[in-house]
Structure 1
Amino acid sequence: MDSKLTSRLDLLADNTLSIIFERNKLKDLKLNYEKYEATINKNLAKLKEGIKTLEQQLSAEEETGATNTNDDEDKLVQIQVKLNKLEVLLGGDEASARDILLGNKRGKTVRFSSPHMEVDPSDLENGQILQLQQRVIQDQDDDLDQLSLVIGRHRELGLLIGDELESHAQLIDETEIMVDRTDARLRKAKKKLDYVGRKVKDNSK
């Protein structure tokens, strides 16, 4: 089986996974996500075509009597598992995709061209599935980190708003004091004017 094609498909699946995550985030935020659709569909088509090619190659190897094909079978199934996740994620159901990876939900069965060969991804126990599980956990950790940053920013903003409100309250208090002082001065000035006015009247008599 073509190891270079296997590696390319594996990398393509990982790259497409990142694109779909970004696309889904934009969709949740009701932003323009359609710019990713063409790339995603093109990548999925390449993955399906590549998987078909690998199946044919593996079947040909078995027909020639090859017996050491277990590793190739595992690699092919791993790519199929990734494709299953991508298709589920593309539908927006991230929880179902994670269930498939964690073995809580049975994904699509991978069939090869040779008879009686059927492998279910949920029955696999290997390093690649563990890596995929770790990727899901890492995605969750990244989301929590982003949430923590947002909460931290909101807290800082709240503190700034609190400081601003406190400053405004001090300004209001100072303004009230100045108004009271000005009012007192005006009253005192009015009394003086009244006194002067009475004196003028008395002198004019």
Structure 2
Amino acid sequence: MSNPAQLFLLADHIKLSLLERQRAVSLKLEPFSQDGEISRSLDSLRDGVESLASQIAHLEETDDPSSADLRDQKISLKKQLDDLTSQFYGNNNPSSDATLKTPNDSSLAEDFSRASSTSTTLKHPAPQHPISKSVRFTDSLATTAEEEDPNRKALLHPYRDSPSPPTFDHSSLSNPEIHAHHAQIMQEQDDELDRLGESIGRQHELSIQIGDELEGHIALLDEVDGYVDRHASRLDGAKKRLGKFRRNAGEGRSLMTIIGLIIVLVILIVILK
């Protein structure tokens, strides 16, 4: 690809992909799956810029006046390539940020605005109700075989943990194709946000139920604390009564000892007389 117009369109495609990547990260969606496509697009843009350099050298050898205009386009594309490469690898700077948000084709301004936006509205789920399930039985295996899709086996593929996303062919990009492709990607991101919103709603309902159960447990604990306080008060009263009884018993023992000594003393006096 050495046509400058196609290279500028390819640069816009890369910018939109990078903006969608930033949008997915800022909205905390699943890991962006288009990194491989962006890397291949950057390689294609790099090859195109190098091809332009060869064309410029050939035109300058023949003193073709169009070489000056082509050189200016090559300089602009080279700068965009460097800025977009920096953005892809996370080396952001004001220059690359400005390049990323500036389309070469003004007709793509609306797509750039949508891709740059991180605000969205999450849909709240309707109350979930149990869905009745039914099982249908067939009378014969022949009926089951007739209902099966004859191309079913062609739809089955080996399982992979991380299947590679389909590659978008950007060899002949046009504005409608870029618009449709990136509109589809942003719609997928919006759908992912809707699912995230439903999940958050279900978690919110679950947290409310857990909160209600915790409040019930707290009420039970408060009731147990009341019982414990009442039993503690009764134990304190019994302890006080036991102490009083012990003191009274001590005083009575001393009195009996004194009376006994007096009786012994009287007996001794009588005997000695």
What TM-score results when the alignment is normalised by the length of structure 2?
A: 0.36
Q: Which has the higher helix share?
A: 1
Higher RCO structure (Cα 8 Å, ≥6 apart): 2
Larger Rg: 2
